[in-house]
Structure formats: structure tokens, C-alpha cells
Amino acid sequence: MATHYLPVFLLVLLRTGFAVAFLPFFSSKMFPGLFRIGFAVALAAVITPVVNFPIPPGSEVAGVILHETALGAALGFAGRMVFFGIDMAAELMNVSMGLSMATIFNPEMGQSAELSNLYAMLSMIVFLAVDGHHALIYIFVKSFEWLPPGGADIARMAPAVVAMGGKMFVLALRLSAPVVIAMLAVNMLLGFLYKAAPLLNVFFIGYPVYIMLGFVLLILGLPAFMQVMRNSFGSMQHDMLRVISAAKG
């Protein structure tokens, strides 16, 4: 019995391990590496008894491993794409608000990531509140029923993954646009002010204005941010289903 389940378990673990390495919440840096490895092994052990597919001959094992690795990474990326977009939006706002200038005044501080951490925590809270983690686990487990190991068509799956990358950039621009546009308007106003009073030190006047106005816009935009997150987490599940559908060929 063990000799039958072991090859199945190893193939299931391939898809599970790569997906858990990317899926939100489960791949968080707050969890140690041993926890993520243990979770992937435990999930594969639970799935293995209910998965039924023929073991490929020895000559085809390499192809199955490649397909499972690609499919697991694609499913994990589909689940993680929204969080990549949020992190990118936070970095854009960091730069436009001048928070990244902290590394110039004090290089020992390293990279400024205050907004990235704040948005990451808020998005994770919303993700857990809408039971996004349960939905992702359900779709991932069902993927073995819809697409047995070794059945993924990588050529058809690649365009779906590339399209998700484009959606990541669109989400980043949607989230950061109010702050970036406001900072651009402030820059233009400060430019006119400098022309009117050249002796005025616009540099040291501008950054407090950037930070104050930026945080005001962030606070006022929190309800819209939450709504965008809910919609994005709903589309995340459709993206995973789209990857599975494309991989089926």
C-alpha cells in the first residue's frame, strides 16, 4: 500500500509545495520556513488518498515533474498577484510622498517600507475576513480533480499567467493613482512658488507638504481601498480557475 501511495504523494507534493511558496498568508515571512514546509507536506498527505491517477512510466516522470512545478507556481502566482500589486502601489506612494528620502538623510536605516508593511497588514486582514484563504485552498484541492498530475498544458497556460502580470500593474496604478496625481499637482504648485520667490527653500518646504497631504489622502481613501481589495480577492479565485482551465487545453 505504501509503495502505491508514495509516488502519488511525491507528485502531489510537487504542486502543493510550489503553490504554498507563493500563496498569500501561507507564504508570509511571519511564518518560519519549517512551518511552510510542514503545511505543504500535511496538505499533500491529506490530498493523496483522495487523488486517483495513473503513475506515468519512468521515461515520462521528468515531464510530469516539469508540468507540476509550472502549474503549482502558476496557481500560487495567481493567488499572490493581488498582493504583488499592493506592494508595488505602496512603493510608488513611498517614492511620491518622499518617504524613501529617509535613506538619503540616514543611509543606515536601509530601505523605507513603512507603507508597504501597512498596506500588507491591511490587505491580509481583509483577505482573512472574506475567507479568501479557505477559497484558495478549496480551488487548489479541486485542481487535482479537474487536472490530474501531468496533464497541464504549459504552452496554453503561459498566456494566462502573462495576462495576470498585466493585471498586477493595473491594480498598482489604481491604488496609487490618487496619491501620485496629488503629489504631481503639489510639485507643479511648488514650481510656480519657486518662480515667484526664488530664495524660498522649496526642497525643505515641499517634503512636509508631501507627507501630510499623502497621509490625509491615505486615510480618506481607506474605504475605497477596502472595496478594491474585496473585488480583487474575488477576481483572484477566477484567475486561479482561468489558469486551471487554460492548462487543461
Query: Highest mean pLDDT range out of 33-47, 54-68, 208-222?
Result: 208-222
Q: Express each pLDDT in 20-32 by its tens digit.
A: 777 766 666 666 7
- Residue indicated by cell numbers 475567507: 131
**pLDDT on residue 60:** 67
Q: Does pTM surpass 0.85? A: no
Among 202, 207, 191, 180, smallest CA distance to 101 is for: 207
Write the Ramachandran bin of 167: left for phi over 0, alpha for psi from -120 to 50, otherwise beta.
alpha
For the segment 211-225, the average pLDDT, to the nearest whole number, is: 86
For the segment 169-191, the average pLDDT, to the nearest whole number, is: 86
What is the total count of domains within the chain?
1
- Residue indicated by cell numbers 491604488: 175
**pLDDT on residue 59:** 47
Cα separation of 245 and 108, whole Å?
Answer: 48
Cα separation of 166 and 152, whole Å?
Answer: 22
Cα separation of 122 and 110, whole Å?
Answer: 23
Mean pLDDT score across all residues of the chain? 78
For the segment 99-106, the average pLDDT, to the nearest whole number, is: 60
Cβ within 8 Å of residue 80, ≥6 positions away: 22, 23, 24, 27
For the segment 121-130, the average pLDDT, to the nearest whole number, is: 82
pLDDT at 105 over 60: no
**Domain around 41:** 2-248
What is the band of 57 on the pLDDT scale with cuts at 50, 70, 90? low
Higher pLDDT, 2 or 62: 62
Report the percentage of the chain scoring pLDDT > 90. 0
Q: Express each pLDDT in 71-93 by its tens digit.
A: 888 888 887 888 888 888 888 88
**pLDDT on residue 26:** 66
Cα separation of 219 and 125, whole Å?
Answer: 17
What is the band of 108 on the pLDDT scale with cuts at 50, 70, 90? low
